[in-house]
Amino acid sequence: MKKILVCEDEETIRDFVIIHLKRAGYDVTATRNGEEAVKAFDKADAAGAAFDIALLDIMMPGPPERQGDQLCKLFRSKNKNIGIIMLSAKTQEMDKIGCLMSGADDYITKPFSPSELVARIDTVYRRVEAMKASGAGTQVAEVLEDAVSGPFKIAAKSRSVTKNDEPLELTQVEYQILDFFIRNENIALDRKKILTHIWGESYFGDEKVVDVNIRRLRMKVEVDPSNPEFLQTVWGFGYKWTV
Protein backbone atom coordinates (compact mmCIF):
# COMPACT_ATOMS: atom_id res chain seq x y z
CA MET A 1 0.00 0.00 0.00
CA LYS A 2 1.27 3.49 -0.85
CA LYS A 3 1.63 5.21 2.53
CA ILE A 4 1.54 9.01 2.71
CA LEU A 5 1.68 11.40 5.67
CA VAL A 6 -0.24 14.64 5.11
CA CYS A 7 0.33 17.64 7.37
CA GLU A 8 -2.03 20.52 6.59
CA ASP A 9 -3.69 22.81 9.13
CA GLU A 10 -6.51 24.07 6.88
CA GLU A 11 -9.37 21.59 7.20
CA THR A 12 -10.92 22.19 3.77
CA ILE A 13 -7.60 21.70 1.98
CA ARG A 14 -6.75 18.70 4.15
CA ASP A 15 -10.08 17.02 3.36
CA PHE A 16 -9.65 17.82 -0.36
CA VAL A 17 -6.20 16.21 -0.37
CA ILE A 18 -7.35 13.15 1.58
CA ILE A 19 -10.26 12.46 -0.79
CA HIS A 20 -8.20 12.62 -3.96
CA LEU A 21 -5.22 10.70 -2.59
CA LYS A 22 -7.45 7.90 -1.35
CA ARG A 23 -9.10 7.74 -4.78
CA ALA A 24 -5.60 7.40 -6.25
CA GLY A 25 -4.89 4.40 -4.02
CA TYR A 26 -2.91 5.99 -1.21
CA ASP A 27 -3.13 5.02 2.45
CA VAL A 28 -3.42 8.49 4.00
CA THR A 29 -2.51 9.53 7.54
CA ALA A 30 -3.64 13.13 8.03
CA THR A 31 -2.34 15.51 10.71
CA ARG A 32 -3.20 19.10 11.57
CA ASN A 33 0.15 20.44 12.76
CA GLY A 34 3.83 19.67 13.04
CA GLU A 35 3.62 18.03 16.44
CA GLU A 36 1.00 15.54 15.25
CA ALA A 37 3.06 14.88 12.12
CA VAL A 38 6.22 14.08 14.09
CA LYS A 39 4.31 11.69 16.35
CA ALA A 40 2.72 9.93 13.36
CA PHE A 41 6.09 9.72 11.59
CA ASP A 42 7.87 8.24 14.62
CA LYS A 43 5.02 5.82 15.36
CA ALA A 44 5.05 4.46 11.81
CA ASP A 45 8.84 4.22 11.80
CA ALA A 46 8.89 2.34 15.12
CA ALA A 47 6.30 -0.10 13.78
CA GLY A 48 8.40 -0.84 10.70
CA ALA A 49 5.78 0.78 8.46
CA ALA A 50 7.53 3.98 7.45
CA PHE A 51 5.76 6.43 5.17
CA ASP A 52 6.70 6.49 1.51
CA ILE A 53 5.75 10.15 1.07
CA ALA A 54 5.30 13.18 3.33
CA LEU A 55 3.17 16.10 2.06
CA LEU A 56 3.92 19.07 4.32
CA ASP A 57 2.35 22.51 4.50
CA ILE A 58 5.18 24.98 4.95
CA MET A 59 3.34 27.33 7.35
CA MET A 60 1.34 25.95 10.27
CA PRO A 61 0.36 26.87 13.81
CA GLY A 62 3.01 26.05 16.37
CA PRO A 63 6.67 26.77 17.16
CA PRO A 64 9.29 27.40 14.44
CA GLU A 65 10.77 23.92 14.82
CA ARG A 66 7.44 22.41 13.84
CA GLN A 67 6.95 24.39 10.62
CA GLY A 68 7.00 22.54 7.32
CA ASP A 69 10.56 23.40 6.33
CA GLN A 70 11.91 22.19 9.67
CA LEU A 71 9.83 19.00 9.48
CA CYS A 72 11.35 18.44 6.06
CA LYS A 73 14.87 18.63 7.49
CA LEU A 74 13.92 16.39 10.41
CA PHE A 75 12.25 13.70 8.30
CA ARG A 76 15.06 13.78 5.74
CA SER A 77 17.64 13.28 8.51
CA LYS A 78 15.75 10.23 9.74
CA ASN A 79 14.91 8.71 6.36
CA LYS A 80 16.93 9.72 3.29
CA ASN A 81 14.62 7.74 0.99
CA ILE A 82 11.28 9.22 1.97
CA GLY A 83 9.68 11.40 -0.69
CA ILE A 84 8.96 14.90 0.61
CA ILE A 85 6.69 17.42 -1.10
CA MET A 86 6.06 20.90 0.28
CA LEU A 87 2.64 22.52 0.03
CA SER A 88 2.16 26.26 0.40
CA ALA A 89 0.35 29.39 -0.71
CA LYS A 90 3.73 31.11 -0.96
CA THR A 91 4.87 31.73 -4.52
CA GLN A 92 8.06 33.75 -3.99
CA GLU A 93 11.17 32.30 -5.60
CA MET A 94 13.19 32.22 -2.36
CA ASP A 95 10.46 30.24 -0.59
CA LYS A 96 10.63 27.54 -3.26
CA ILE A 97 14.41 27.48 -3.18
CA GLY A 98 14.42 27.30 0.62
CA CYS A 99 12.13 24.27 0.62
CA LEU A 100 14.16 22.41 -1.98
CA MET A 101 17.43 23.22 -0.23
CA SER A 102 15.92 21.79 2.97
CA GLY A 103 15.69 18.43 1.24
CA ALA A 104 12.26 18.46 -0.37
CA ASP A 105 11.76 16.61 -3.65
CA ASP A 106 9.11 18.97 -4.97
CA TYR A 107 7.02 22.04 -4.15
CA ILE A 108 3.32 22.51 -4.95
CA THR A 109 1.78 25.97 -4.78
CA LYS A 110 -1.84 26.49 -3.72
CA PRO A 111 -4.30 26.47 -5.38
CA PHE A 112 -3.71 23.25 -7.27
CA SER A 113 -5.83 20.81 -9.24
CA PRO A 114 -6.44 17.19 -8.17
CA SER A 115 -4.68 15.93 -11.30
CA GLU A 116 -1.58 18.04 -10.59
CA LEU A 117 -1.47 16.92 -6.96
CA VAL A 118 -1.73 13.23 -7.77
CA ALA A 119 0.65 13.41 -10.73
CA ARG A 120 3.37 15.13 -8.71
CA ILE A 121 2.98 12.70 -5.80
CA ASP A 122 2.95 9.70 -8.14
CA THR A 123 6.24 10.85 -9.69
CA VAL A 124 7.94 11.03 -6.31
CA TYR A 125 6.40 7.71 -5.24
CA ARG A 126 7.83 5.92 -8.27
CA ARG A 127 11.27 7.20 -7.34
CA VAL A 128 10.83 5.97 -3.76
CA GLU A 129 9.77 2.55 -4.98
CA ALA A 130 12.81 2.33 -7.26
CA MET A 131 15.05 3.03 -4.25
CA LYS A 132 13.30 0.34 -2.21
CA ALA A 133 13.47 -2.21 -5.00
CA SER A 134 17.17 -1.68 -5.63
CA GLY A 135 17.93 -1.78 -1.92
CA ALA A 136 16.19 -5.14 -1.69
CA GLY A 137 18.14 -6.45 -4.66
CA THR A 138 15.12 -6.49 -6.93
CA GLN A 139 15.84 -6.06 -10.62
CA VAL A 140 14.10 -2.93 -11.87
CA ALA A 141 14.33 -1.09 -15.15
CA GLU A 142 16.24 1.85 -13.67
CA VAL A 143 19.05 -0.31 -12.28
CA LEU A 144 22.05 -0.11 -14.61
CA GLU A 145 25.62 -1.34 -14.44
CA ASP A 146 28.04 0.09 -11.88
CA ALA A 147 29.94 3.14 -13.09
CA VAL A 148 33.20 4.93 -12.30
CA SER A 149 34.03 8.57 -13.04
CA GLY A 150 37.26 9.92 -11.59
CA PRO A 151 37.04 9.57 -7.79
CA PHE A 152 33.33 8.69 -7.96
CA LYS A 153 31.90 5.17 -8.00
CA ILE A 154 28.25 4.25 -8.51
CA ALA A 155 26.93 1.00 -7.07
CA ALA A 156 23.80 0.61 -9.17
CA LYS A 157 22.00 -2.12 -7.21
CA SER A 158 22.30 -0.27 -3.90
CA ARG A 159 21.87 3.10 -5.63
CA SER A 160 24.80 4.53 -3.68
CA VAL A 161 27.81 6.66 -4.57
CA THR A 162 31.27 7.00 -3.08
CA LYS A 163 33.91 9.66 -3.62
CA ASN A 164 37.47 8.49 -2.94
CA ASP A 165 35.84 5.41 -1.37
CA GLU A 166 33.92 7.58 1.12
CA PRO A 167 30.10 7.29 0.92
CA LEU A 168 28.09 10.33 -0.13
CA GLU A 169 24.85 10.97 1.73
CA LEU A 170 22.52 11.64 -1.19
CA THR A 171 18.77 11.93 -1.41
CA GLN A 172 17.00 9.88 -4.08
CA VAL A 173 16.80 12.90 -6.39
CA GLU A 174 20.46 13.77 -5.90
CA TYR A 175 21.45 10.18 -6.64
CA GLN A 176 19.44 10.11 -9.86
CA ILE A 177 20.89 13.42 -11.03
CA LEU A 178 24.46 12.38 -10.30
CA ASP A 179 23.93 8.99 -11.93
CA PHE A 180 22.51 10.68 -15.04
CA PHE A 181 25.47 13.03 -15.31
CA ILE A 182 28.14 10.40 -14.72
CA ARG A 183 26.62 8.19 -17.42
CA ASN A 184 26.70 11.18 -19.77
CA GLU A 185 30.20 12.41 -18.97
CA ASN A 186 31.36 15.46 -20.96
CA ILE A 187 27.92 15.86 -22.55
CA ALA A 188 26.11 19.15 -22.02
CA LEU A 189 22.59 18.44 -20.75
CA ASP A 190 19.92 21.11 -20.92
CA ARG A 191 17.51 21.69 -18.07
CA LYS A 192 14.54 20.28 -19.96
CA LYS A 193 16.32 17.00 -20.60
CA ILE A 194 17.35 16.72 -16.95
CA LEU A 195 13.83 17.59 -15.80
CA THR A 196 12.23 14.99 -18.05
CA HIS A 197 14.70 12.25 -17.09
CA ILE A 198 14.40 12.79 -13.33
CA TRP A 199 10.85 14.09 -12.84
CA GLY A 200 9.12 12.58 -15.86
CA GLU A 201 7.29 13.75 -18.96
CA SER A 202 4.19 14.82 -17.04
CA TYR A 203 5.95 17.06 -14.51
CA PHE A 204 3.89 20.20 -13.83
CA GLY A 205 6.56 22.30 -12.08
CA ASP A 206 9.13 24.72 -13.47
CA GLU A 207 12.76 24.16 -14.37
CA LYS A 208 14.01 25.96 -11.25
CA VAL A 209 13.82 22.64 -9.40
CA VAL A 210 16.76 21.47 -11.53
CA ASP A 211 18.95 24.44 -10.59
CA VAL A 212 18.24 24.12 -6.89
CA ASN A 213 18.99 20.39 -6.84
CA ILE A 214 22.22 20.99 -8.77
CA ARG A 215 23.21 23.54 -6.14
CA ARG A 216 22.42 21.08 -3.37
CA LEU A 217 24.32 18.30 -5.12
CA ARG A 218 27.39 20.49 -5.60
CA MET A 219 27.55 21.01 -1.84
CA LYS A 220 28.06 17.26 -1.49
CA VAL A 221 30.38 16.43 -4.40
CA GLU A 222 32.54 19.53 -4.80
CA VAL A 223 35.39 20.77 -2.61
CA ASP A 224 34.38 24.34 -3.48
CA PRO A 225 30.71 24.43 -4.63
CA SER A 226 31.08 28.03 -5.81
CA ASN A 227 33.89 26.96 -8.15
CA PRO A 228 32.80 23.46 -9.25
CA GLU A 229 35.35 21.05 -10.64
CA PHE A 230 32.97 18.29 -11.74
CA LEU A 231 29.42 19.60 -12.12
CA GLN A 232 29.93 22.58 -14.36
CA THR A 233 27.47 25.17 -15.67
CA VAL A 234 27.07 25.53 -19.42
CA TRP A 235 25.85 29.13 -19.49
CA GLY A 236 22.55 29.69 -21.23
CA PHE A 237 22.01 25.96 -21.68
CA GLY A 238 22.38 23.67 -18.69
CA TYR A 239 25.10 21.61 -17.03
CA LYS A 240 27.92 19.20 -17.84
CA TRP A 241 29.79 16.55 -15.83
CA THR A 242 33.53 16.43 -16.39
CA VAL A 243 36.50 14.79 -14.63
Q: Which residues of the chain does CATH 3.40.50.2300 include?
A: 2-134
In CATH, the number for domain 2-134 is 3.40.50.2300
Range with the poorest average pLDDT among 123-132, 133-142, 188-197: 133-142
Q: How far apart are CA 53 and CA 26, in angstroms?
A: 10
Cα(193)–Cα(182) distance, rounded to whole angstroms? 15
How does pLDDT run across 58-75, given as a tens digit for each residue?
Answer: 888 888 889 998 999 999
User: Confidence class of residue 135 from pLDDT cuts 50, 70 and 90?
Assistant: low
pLDDT of 141: 44
Indicate whether 39 pLDDT > 90.
yes
**According to the model, what pLDDT value does residue 92 have?**
64
Averaged pLDDT score across all residues of the chain: 89
Rounded Cα gap, residues 181 and 188, in angstroms? 9
Q: What CATH number was assigned to the domain covering residues 144-241?
A: 1.10.10.10
Report the alpha-carbon distance of residue 73 to residue 181 in Å, rounded: 26
What pLDDT does residue 140 have?
43
Using one digit for the tens of pLDDT, what is the confidence trace for 148-178? Answer: 999 999 998 888 899 999 999 988 889 999 9
pLDDT of residue 162: 96
pLDDT computed for residue 204 by the predictor: 67
- Mean pLDDT: which of 26-40, 95-109, 123-137 is highest? 26-40
Question: pLDDT value at position 130?
Answer: 75
Looking at residue 49, what is its pLDDT?
Answer: 92
Note whether 233 and 239 are within 8 A (CB). Answer: yes
Give CA separation, 72 vs 10, 49, 235, in Å. Answer: 19, 19, 31
Burial of residue 174 (number of CB atoms within 10 Å: 0-12, 13-18, 19+): buried
- Going by pLDDT thresholds of 50, 70 and 90, the confidence category of residue 33 is very high
Contact (Cβ atoms closer than 8 angstroms) between residue 142 and residue 126: no
Read off the pLDDT band of 52 (50, 70, 90): very high
Domain with CATH 1.10.10.10 in the chain: 144-241
pLDDT reported for residue 95: 75
- The pTM (predicted TM-score) of the whole model is 0.77
d(CA 211, CA 61): 31
Q: What pLDDT does residue 137 have?
A: 44
Q: 52 in helix, strand or coil?
A: coil
| The pLDDT of residue 50 | 94
Bridging pattern class, strands 2-7 and 231-234? unpaired
